[in-house]
């Protein structure tokens, strides 16, 4: 094959490579703790389904949320070369986490006891971290 053809084939494969790399790094796909053969057979498809659902959620509604805006960090700066234009899977996952917490904590119907109950895990986590 000509070098140009090799590069083109590799570039076409890149999206597939990242599709497997992201679930491995962010969703635990690489190191499942399964004890039975059946569990092993279910883990991979479920993890890839979860990855797909996060990406689809972000594409359909998550990208319009205020929490989807990139944080102010040097790697998001337009001055950096090359500048980042599309969100990574970790950005999509972080947006989903922030949206989930916002919905859970700031639901308009929530009363004081409900909010206190919802804040308990967050406060416990912060207490442990401190």
Percent of the chain with pLDDT over 70: 81
70 and 127 share a domain? yes
Number of domains in the chain: 2
Tell which of 31, 57, 83 closes a domain: 57
4 and 67 share a domain? no
Q: What is the pLDDT of residues 62-108, one digit of tens each?
A: 888 776 676 666 665 656 555 566 788 888 888 888 888 777 777 76
3 and 45 share a domain? yes
Average pLDDT over the chain reads: 79
What are the φ and ψ backbone dihedral angles of 80, each rounded to 5 degrees?
-70, 155
How far from the centroid of its chain's Cα atoms is residue 68's Cα?
11
The reported pLDDT for the residue numbered 81 is: 52
CA distance 98 to 68: 9
75 and 22 share a domain? no
50 and 91 share a domain? no
Tell which of 57, 87, 102 closes a domain: 57
The reported pLDDT for the residue numbered 4 is: 92
26 and 72 share a domain? no
The reported pLDDT for the residue numbered 94 is: 86
């Amino acid at each position: 094959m000509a070098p140009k053809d090799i590069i083109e084939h590799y570039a076409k494969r890149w999206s597939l490579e990242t599709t497997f790399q992201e679930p491995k790094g962010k969703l635990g796909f690489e190191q499942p703790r399964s004890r039975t053969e059946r569990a092993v057979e279910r883990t991979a498809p479920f993890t890839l389904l979860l990855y797909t659902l996060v990406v689809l959620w972000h594409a359909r509604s998550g990208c319009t949320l205020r929490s989807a805006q990139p944080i102010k960090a040097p790697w998001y700066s337009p001055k950096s070369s090359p500048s980042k234009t599309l969100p990574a899977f970790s950005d999509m996952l972080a947006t989903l986490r922030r949206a989930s917490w916002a919905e859970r904590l700031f639901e308009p119907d929530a009363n004081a006891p409900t909010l206190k109950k919802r804040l308990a895990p967050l406060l416990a986590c912060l207490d442990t971290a401190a």
